[in-house]
């Protein structure tokens, strides 16, 4: 497998998709690629609008991008693409639509056979075994919380260990500790803004900044930028 999993698309105060561009370009390599875009996580804006934004970015990088939401035969159209790009937004809406269009299985099968996969935010969440570590509100029902399982660990995108002064609710670490209390065999990767993972059969590499690895009953591990490790993170202790 060949995956590029990003915490987010855009840093505050910067143009859309500016920080990931060099990483995406290096990931896709030389030559013009035809990319299938999955915009199903869009809720407060239209999928057409989302597609135009992302098309502009990838055109500047020298690639052609088309959206699967406009295709009558979505699975067939995926089969004619060189790579798949899954955008962020609401993870529950994304997963529900992936199941409803039969694309979840189709993408998992193609990526397992070697198709490159790029995802950010919700698009990174659905690459995990489940979407149970998303930050999103469940605004729609999903058939199941199970996702693609392209990686064996859970991702919490937009991760922060910050605490808001005067805020009485749970912190992100407390919420993730709750998940781990009920899913004790799981490993969670906290991906901060501006960070991502390049994942292949030989392992994964962290870029953009440090990440945090959380496990039940263990002290969280801060992993520095540039670290290479096994895909199952068994060497991160």
Given the residues 121, 124, 173, 186, select the one marked as catalytic: 121
The two tokens of residue 134 are 């998303």
Q: Cα(217)–Cα(186) distance, rounded to whole angstroms?
A: 11
| Longest distance between any two alpha carbons in the chain, whole Å | 52
Given the residues 2, 23, 82, 158, select the one marked as catalytic: 158
Q: Is 235 a catalytic residue?
A: no
Q: Is 186 a catalytic residue?
A: no
The two tokens of residue 43 are 């809720």
| Exposure b/e, 84-122, CB count within 10 A at least 16 = b | bbbbbbbbbbbbbbbbebebbebbbebbeeebbbbbbbb
Q: Is 171 a catalytic residue?
A: no
Q: Return the half-sphere exposure (C-beta side, CA atoms, 13 A cut-off) of residue 105.
A: 5
Given the residues 124, 136, 173, 186, select the one marked as catalytic: 136
- Of 26, 29, 50, 23, the C-alpha closest to 38 is 50
The burial class, CB within 10 Å (0-12 / 13-18 / 19+), for 229 is middle
Question: Catalytic residue positions?
Answer: 121, 136, 158
């Amino acid at each position: 497998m060949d995956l590029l999993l990003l915490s987010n698309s855009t840093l505050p105060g910067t143009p859309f998709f500016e920080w990931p561009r060099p990483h995406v370009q290096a990931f896709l390599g030389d030559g013009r690629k035809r990319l299938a875009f999955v915009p199903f996580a869009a809720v407060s804006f239209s999928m057409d609008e989302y597609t135009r934004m992302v098309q502009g970015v990838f055109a500047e990088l020298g690639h052609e991008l088309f959206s699967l939401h406009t295709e009558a035969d979505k699975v067939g159209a995926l089969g004619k693409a060189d790579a798949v790009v899954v955008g962020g937004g609401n993870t529950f809406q994304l997963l529900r639509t992936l199941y409803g269009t039969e694309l979840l299985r189709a993408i998992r099968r193609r990526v397992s056979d070697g198709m490159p996969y790029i995802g950010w935010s919700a698009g990174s969440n659905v690459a995990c075994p489940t979407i149970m570590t998303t930050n999103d509100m469940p605004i729609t029902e999903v058939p199941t919380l199970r996702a693609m399982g392209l990686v064996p660990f859970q991702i919490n995108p937009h991760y922060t260990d910050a605490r808001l002064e005067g805020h009485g609710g749970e912190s992100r670490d407390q919420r993730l500790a709750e998940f781990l209390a009920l899913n004790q065999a799981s490993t969670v990767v906290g991906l901060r803004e501006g960070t991502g993972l390049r994942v292949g059969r030989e392992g994964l590499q962290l870029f953009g900044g440090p990440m945090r690895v959380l496990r039940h009953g263990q002290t969280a591990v801060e992993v520095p930028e540039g670290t290479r490790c096994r895909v199952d993170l068994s060497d991160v202790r």
